[in-house]
A and B are shown apart, each in its own frame.
Chain A
């Protein structure tokens, strides 16, 4: 089945059931199905064709979900972009995927207009929350225009090998790379996770992670696949609001990242009835064992799943909950229907007890990076069967005697800040834009709330800049999760014998 066919399937089964609640608005399965048909027909009226890319530059909201499913129904490829993305990064993404359409709102529209003269591919713009077209170009449509379109499902002949989405993630160079997923990749891995979590249409999930982040996006995709209800939150800035929502909506499934769990663990949970929760998941970065133990104490009735994944294969490993007390620091085994192994630097398989790079085989191995065959060839290599591709994760794991895996380290210096990948190079390049910056080195330092917090060391030519001025510059240029938490101005940085900055000497 195609990703969007699950929506139509459940709409036919229970059109009246609420599919989604967001910001006190809700939408039923039937309405979501018909409005996404209207979105698809609007796209087609704008000459949007099978395989074309459309940018969804919105915070978590109902319109973002209608857009995602509408783009799929039009045979297109959706690209959700984090709403805190600044204009130059948005330009890089649009230029890379040559999107024809951008769907946004009035708050974010100026971010796009500032780069519009440089964007040649976009021919249609949709602003979701405006009611009039005063002072807008003819390229711009409003959501009210969508609702005038036919609500019949357009006939677009696509198969499950067609691309469904690009998920942009930071590479070690700092230039965003778009991981290509086809319909079969997505439905395969979503079904595998659903089987682990035993989801049914009685489940109610809450998601406060951005839909631009694959962990957040798959909460939506999975929920529509099993016909559940999704409580979509814009962010996790106010944990008390989320806890209240869990209690009011009788939420059963909670996906978190270490930052979110750290915040919850410091709170008094007694005002909230959290008895409806059936399971919690953690992925994106390792949760300290002490936190896992505290979560189990605070939520004794909840099944906790430690997981590991990377955008290039979506979810990859999970620890069966019955192993949590036996090996709490493990992230487990391959998800159902897939296999993994460890390889040493010479490509030999590492036996149990050893460490090596995690190699992943299965239908969740995505289709590569959009427009980057070189990087694709590095990450995705030929597998044991001719024509097959397997994924080299770049992450080093240890395997115990029973075959359970433990994350050791990344093989590059990418930082995981609040669960999302951040390239130190990208931040260093932003720091070097300041004329007074002579040298810059960015590292991740362990932080109880952030997982890793970003710390920047800076050597100045003339010492005209203050830490606050450097941070203000970063704030203007970087998404919020990439802004350093600490800036240290120093006289010099440690160097290797070849004169390169020696980051291992920093802490």
Chain B
């Protein structure tokens, strides 16, 4: 499963609780769509840290990184590239 789909699955199960009436694209803002609130953002951070073994810095928790599936996937990939030791 791609990172994008993993994020979507997490959101559908944990924030939308399987509610299929909420439709959103990978570029839609979680906030504008009413998908997340402040507590949900914290849960999303914990999910990213645990699932991808990334240390999310406080100052990285911004809309640029955490407000859509695509921006979050991009953030995760950039962190993974940064944290993978070069051969």
Interface residue ranges, A against B (CB under 8 Å) = 84, 107, 234-241, 244, 259, 263, 267-268, 271, 418, 449-450, 468-469, 471-472, 475-476, 480-481, 485
Question: A475 with B17: in contact, given A239-B61, A240-B61 (CB under 8 Å)?
Answer: yes
* Cα(A186)–Cα(B41), bound, Å: 35
Contact A472:B32 (CB < 8 A) given known A238-B63, A239-B58, A450-B39 = no
- In contact, B58 and A107 (Cβ under 8 angstroms): no
> What is the CA–CA distance of A506 and B76 in the complex, to the nearest angstrom?
41
Chain B residues with CB below 8 A from A471, complex form: 17
Interface residues of B in 40-63 (CB under 8 A from A): 41-42, 57-63
Question: Which residues of chain B from 55 to 87 have a CB within 8 Å of any chain A CB?
Answer: 57-63, 66
| Cα distance, A341 to B86, chains bound together (Å) | 69
**Which of A107, A238, A450, A475 has the largest count of B CB atoms less than 10 A from its CB?**
A238
- B58 contacts A480, CB within 8 Å? no
Structural contact, B62 and A472, CB atoms closer than 8 A:
no
Are B41 and A237 in contact, CB atoms less than 8 angstroms apart? yes
Number of interface residues, chain B, beta carbon within 8 A: 23
A215 to chain B, nearest CB (A): 16
30 contacts between A and B (CB under 8 A): A107-B32, A234-B31, A235-B31, A235-B37, A236-B38, A237-B31, A237-B36, A238-B41, A239-B61, A240-B59, A240-B60, A259-B38, A267-B58, A268-B58, A271-B58, A449-B42, A450-B39, A468-B13, A468-B17, A469-B17, A469-B18, A471-B17, A472-B16, A472-B17, A472-B18, A475-B17, A476-B21, A480-B37, A481-B37, A485-B39
State whether B38 touches A84 (Cβ < 8 A). Answer: no
Of listed B13, B37, B38, B62, residue having the most chain A CB within 10 A: B38
Contacts A236-B38, A475-B19 aside, 15 further interface pairs with beta carbons under 8 A come to: A234-B31, A235-B37, A237-B37, A237-B63, A240-B59, A240-B60, A241-B63, A244-B59, A271-B58, A271-B59, A449-B39, A449-B42, A472-B16, A472-B17, A475-B17
Query: Once bound together, how far apart are the Cα atoms of A240 and B42, in whole Å?
Result: 12
On chain B, the residues within 8 Å of A476 by CB distance are: 19, 21
Interface residues of B (CB under 8 A from A): 13, 16-19, 21, 31-32, 34, 36-39, 41-42, 57-63, 66
CB distance from B16 to the nearest CB of A (A): 7
Tell me the complex Cα distance, A389–B61, Å. 48
- Closest B residue to A84 using CB positions: B34
Query: What are the 8 tightest A-B residue pairs by CB atom distance, in nearest-first order?
Result: A472-B17, A472-B19, A471-B17, A468-B17, A480-B37, A267-B58, A237-B38, A240-B59
Alpha-carbon separation in the docked complex, A445 to B61 (Å): 28
In the complex, what distance in Å separates the CA atom of A238 from the CA atom of B42? Answer: 9
Determine the distance from Cα of A115 to Cα of B57 in the docked complex, in whole angstroms: 43
Shortest beta-carbon distance from B71 to chain A in Å: 12
Q: Smallest Cβ distance from A452 to chain B, in angstroms? A: 13
Residues of B within 8 A of A84 (CB): 34, 37
Closest to A234 in B: B31
Q: Which has the most chain B C-beta neighbours within 10 Å: A268, A469, A472?
A: A472
A113 CB to closest chain B CB (Å) equals: 16
Please give, as numbers and ranges, the residues of chain B lying within 8 Å of A268 by CB-CB distance.
Answer: 57-58
Q: How far is the CA of A450 from the CA of B39 in the complex (A)?
A: 9
